[in-house]
Amino acid sequence: MLLIFDLDGTLIDSRFDIAAACNAALVAIGKTALPVEKIATFVGDGAHQLMRRALGEDASDSLVAAALPVLTAYYLAHPVEHTRWLPGATEALETLAHDHTIALATNKGAPVAQAILRALGVIDRFASVIGGGELPLKPDPACIHAIAKQTGFTGDIADIWMIGDGPQDIGAGKAAGATTVAVLGGFHPEGRLRALRPDHLLASLGELGPLLAGLKAPPGTSPSQRFDVKIA
């Protein structure tokens, strides 16, 4: 099985480092810094959209273009000052890699994503890492198809699991025909994720291992009933 994880809001709580980089860019071009929780609502569609939303949707392309290099440079210099693992994330990466291929697909810029993974000491755990700027961003399924090719995956498409905290992840998974897993506790509210009808909805990544193990359970048991948050 091929397990593709999102990064921000799925494996890590990076909102404070994202906000610090965004605010560094805002201040550099003469704008006012924004609250962390406000910036957190802008996350999910890549650095360009993050910066545009922070500046206002009517911001000129030239203003966004001036701010982006500052954001990227700051983030590369301070990739994990405040970033923390989300519940169950390290355990999932450590244990699931024994039986499954682990990969990562994020809309965060590829250089920054790689800097974060290196700083956290986990980049070697992923058979493939695709970040923003390399392919069309999620919810486009291009990253899923590319990871399948890079890792030599030849199984059923349903044996590719796209795991994330946002509509971009669920949208990409559904577009590819993959199994979709939404994880609560990230950047997006529960109601929005439920409305997307993912195949599985988990309270944390700590439930992913038991869910996968439950797929091998004897007939008559239901992994979704035992480990998924009930989807009404």
Give pLDDT tens digits for 84-106. Answer: 999 999 999 999 999 999 999 99
Q: Which residues face 12 on adjacent strands?
A: 8, 85
Q: What is the pLDDT of residues 172-187, one digit of tens each?
A: 999 999 999 999 999 9
Q: Give yes or no: residues 206 and 138 share one domain.
A: yes
Separation CA 119–CA 113 (nearest Å): 10
Tell me: pLDDT of 55 over 60.
Answer: yes
pLDDT interval class at 57 (50, 70, 90):
confident
Q: Give yes or no: residues 154 and 103 share one domain.
A: yes
Residue 232 in any domain: the answer is no
Q: Give yes or no: residues 119 and 129 share one domain.
A: yes
Tell me: pLDDT of 155 over 60.
Answer: yes
* Phi–psi pair at 209, nearest 5 degrees: -60, -50
Residue 47 makes CB contacts below 8 A (sequence gap 6+) with 68, 71, 72, 108, 109, 112, 132
Percent of the chain exceeding pLDDT 70 equals: 93
pLDDT value for 232: 42
> In sequence order, what E strands does 9-100 have?
12-13, 84-85
* Number of structural domains in the chain: 2
Task: Provide the residue range defining the domain that includes 95.
Answer: 2-13+84-227
Which runs of consecutive H residues, i.e. helices, occur in 151-220?
Answer: 167-176, 190-195, 208-214
Separation CA 206–CA 42 (nearest Å): 26
Q: What amino acid is encoded at 109 in this protein?
A: G
Annotated catalytic residue within 6, 45, 165, 169: 6
Please confirm, yes or no, whether 199 is among the known catalytic residues.
no
pTM of the model: 0.92
Separation CA 197–CA 103 (nearest Å): 23
* In the block, residue with structure tokens 């593709």: 4
